[in-house]
Amino acid sequence: MLFKCRDITFKYPGSRNYVFKNLSFEMVEPGFHALFGPSGVGKTSLAKILTGETMEFSGEIHMDGMKTLLYSYNLERLPGWSSVGKHLEKVTPPSQKGKKDELIEAFGLKELVGFRFSQLSLGQQNRINLIRYLLQDFHMLVMDESLANVDELTREKILLKMKDMFPDTFFLYISHNVIEVSKFCKEILVLRDAGKVPQVTKIEGQNCSIHRQIDKEKLELTMLEVMNASS
């Protein structure tokens, strides 16, 4: 599978300033890829372009062997009139039924499936919403701060579990956490303002998994490289 963007150009209606101008990059292997950059640089706009939620742009997007792309964000809400367990059961395709209980357990939500969505904390809501997407049939999931309001240790446990359960799936992980993207992602796409050249720089991450530990010194060097590329 291959995901490639070429010369993506975009600006908001009525604005003279470009968000992206001839932006190009590619992802050639499944796994966790990060989209990193300061607030306002266009990470969410790019995510919506990639997943088809925004169509007013020029350029080309090539998806070789990929059909279904999903977009998950941290403020999304579920209907509040039924329990989250019943909601997950309703939206889970038959081919994914076996993964539901495993994800609920791994995400630390087993005791909460009988609650309504509105009764959960923000972090619990984010985890339930992420599970809902992971239970769908997809080739790439864009995670736009999908684990916001989740504590660090739980986030790490979730990311490791996802990498173990979905080794052949593309993930584009949007986060402001330089430690996290450097540690868990195989590639980090560092995004800058459209007026800067290059606008996007690809950096190799440490790609930590349950099968692969990392060297602390190498992690620190990756973090420094990411921060230098974003300036």
Domain segments of the chain: what residues?
A: 2-79+140-230
Total residues found in the chain within this entry: 231
What pLDDT was estimated at residue 1?
80
What pLDDT was estimated at residue 212?
86
The tokens for 193 are: 């303002």
HSE-CB for 97 with a 13 A CA cutoff: 5
Does the pTM surpass 0.85? The reply is yes
Find, among 164, 165, 183, the residue nearest to 173 by Cα.
183
Instruction: List the chain residues with pLDDT less than 70.
Output: none
Pick the CATH number of 2-79+140-230 from 3.20.20.370, 3.50.50.60, 3.90.79.10, 3.40.50.300: 3.40.50.300
Quick: pLDDT tens for 178-192. Answer: 999 999 999 999 999
How far is residue 156's CA from residue 33's CA, in Å, rounded to a whole number?
Answer: 15
Angle between helices 84-91 and 97-106 (to 10 degrees): 150
What pLDDT was estimated at residue 195?
87
